Amino acid sequence: MKAALLGTGRFTPENQQDDLPIIARIGALGSDREDRFLKTAFTALLYEEAGAKPSKIDHTLPGCPPETRQPAGDKITGLIHASLKDRNEVLFRYYLFRLVKSGKVLQSWLVPMVLNKALNSGKDRLQLLDACGQAGQWLCRLNPKWSTTPATAKGDENIWETGTLEERKTYLTSLRKTDPEGAIALLENTLAEENAGNRLIFVQLLSEGLSLRDEPFLQKLTSDKSQKVKETAFDLLKQIPGSALNHAYLEALTRVLEVREEKHLLITKKKVLTIRGDMPLDDGLFKTGIERVSREKGVEDYVYHAAQLMAWVDPVVLANALGTTEQQLITFLLGQKAAGTLMPFLVRAAVRFRNKAWCFALLHREEATDIRLLDALEESERQAFYGRFLNNNLTGLLTYLFDDNYTPLPLKLAGDIIDYLIRFPYNVTQAVYHRLALHLPVAAFAKLQAVINDPRQDYQTRYFKTQASEMMRIKELIQQID
């Protein structure tokens, strides 16, 4: 309706150039209203196309400090720029790794693009800022959009009061590593002011570096208004060796589990483990997260209680309390009729306390599928178990093997992975193929080239050939850096 009324007495739009003499002269013309409107509109359009006079600035910008590190070479700079334009996150992260490893910084013309990326990054924001060098620090002080970026990098304590949630998480995580007691003191003074979601996030960050010094603070949180915060506090208390709750779990297990000798073939004696049903748990333990009723059909409640308790007690401590060894204990437990019910809880204990004897025993059981069981083993010992995860959970295996240093995979394992992908090429994403290329040993690329030269043209083979060709291209890009 407004468009239809333009130029009439019913509607006249506001004109931003009303203070211009020429607009006043047009308004004073003796022509009709439509003519004056069209002349005014045309004049306003010309002014908009011509732009505006710049605002007067009465101060000078501070100069950029000289760079203390050498700028990156043209080759890696070009590769970083290409990965940013293509939004190839895998290659960008690798190129950044190589840049940081070389001790150089980005060329200044590329810094604004990387600073924009840092705004949307979480844990690696500091690394991105560091790669930008002095130019990055300088620009962050000038551009309000980037102004919050360096605060976390400097470890400014004000970030806890003024930063975003991600920045505060980064700050607390860093403080927890350098000053565990300081992190607890910070939360003691400020946690009550946070909403339930933030309280949960910050308490969860305390899982690294747990010690008895954290017990008083966590004990207070067991009465928090948020059920999830309470549950998290109980879970943290359970896994602190020597805490009151952890000790209560240990004592309960020593009553429920009994190792005794029995006659065997009327001649010899052997030790057996029994889960006793005549030693009920104290009611207070059920308030700490222990479920009263068994979830497993045909499994007695008291067995299910024992299984839950074992997930939180160090196998070495439990074995000593029962007068046996950790190896004997896991053998006893896996020999139980309810071993299937016990299994996930035994796995949690083995992973949580990195018990090598338990991890070894559980890795020989097909039901144990948690790849973190490998953490307790040496690298040479892990390789014997990679095959089972390759066939059952390749994505999980690759996620476990891919590290921040881009360590090459063992040649045999790399060959096995390629053989698997030839048969099941759709089981991983394109990004995983790209990341795999960065971890393949040089000798493994000959196998990829052989696949590319394969004359078969079925859909499955053609798809893998496409991925293999891209992996070969990535290898060539990497060689340009070298």
For the stretch 184-238, pLDDT in tens is 999 999 999 999 999 999 999 999 889 999 999 999 999 999 999 999 999 999 9
Helices 301-310 and 244-256 cross at an angle (nearest 10°) of: 140
Report the pLDDT value the prediction gives residue 184, as an integer from 0 to 100: 95
Compute the mean pLDDT over every residue in the chain, rounded to the nearest whole number: 89
| Per-residue pLDDT tens digits for 265-288 | 666 778 889 999 999 999 999 999
Report the pLDDT value the prediction gives residue 480, as an integer from 0 to 100: 84
Determine how many CB atoms are found less than 10 A away from the CB of residue 166.
Answer: 14
Task: Please state, in angstroms and rounded to a whole number, the distance separating the CA atoms of residues 249 and 32.
Answer: 94
CA dihedral 8, 10, 14, 19 (to 10 degrees): 60
**Region 435-458 average pLDDT:** 92
**Region 55-71 average pLDDT:** 85
| Tokens 């305390």, residue located | 206
| Per-residue pLDDT tens digits for 300-318 | 999 999 999 999 999 999 9
pTM for this entry: 0.76
Burial 172-204 (b: 16+ CB within 10 A, else e): beebbeeebeebbebbeeebeebeeeebbbbbe
DSSP 351-397: HHTT-HHHHHHHHTSTT---GGGGGGS-HHHHGGGHHHHHHH-HHHH
The yes-or-no verdict on residue 146 having pLDDT over 90 is no
| Per-residue pLDDT tens digits for 118-127 | 887 766 777 8
The yes-or-no verdict on residue 151 having pLDDT over 50 is no
Report the pLDDT value the prediction gives residue 152, as an integer from 0 to 100: 43
pLDDT over 90, % of the chain = 67
Task: Please state, in angstroms and rounded to a whole number, the distance separating the CA atoms of residues 350 and 335.
Answer: 17
| Tokens 């980064």, residue located | 170
The yes-or-no verdict on residue 477 having pLDDT over 60 is yes
pLDDT over 70, % of the chain = 92
**Region 8-32 average pLDDT:** 72
**Region 453-459 average pLDDT:** 88
Task: Please state, in angstroms and rounded to a whole number, the distance separating the CA atoms of residues 471 and 481.
Answer: 16
Q: What would the two tokens of residue 400 be?
A: 């476990």
- Sequence-distant (6+) residues with CB within 8 A of 41 are none
Position 51 confidence tier, pLDDT thresholds 50, 70, 90: confident
| 255 contacts 248 by C-beta, under 8 angstroms | no
- Sequence-distant (6+) residues with CB within 8 A of 478 are 94, 438
Report the pLDDT value the prediction gives residue 89, as an integer from 0 to 100: 93
Report the pLDDT value the prediction gives residue 84, as an integer from 0 to 100: 94
| Per-residue pLDDT tens digits for 344-354 | 999 999 999 99
Position 18 confidence tier, pLDDT thresholds 50, 70, 90: low
Cα separations in angstroms, 98 against 91, 314, 363, 437, 449:
11, 40, 36, 15, 26
Best CA proximity match to 437, nearest among 405, 469, 394, 396: 469
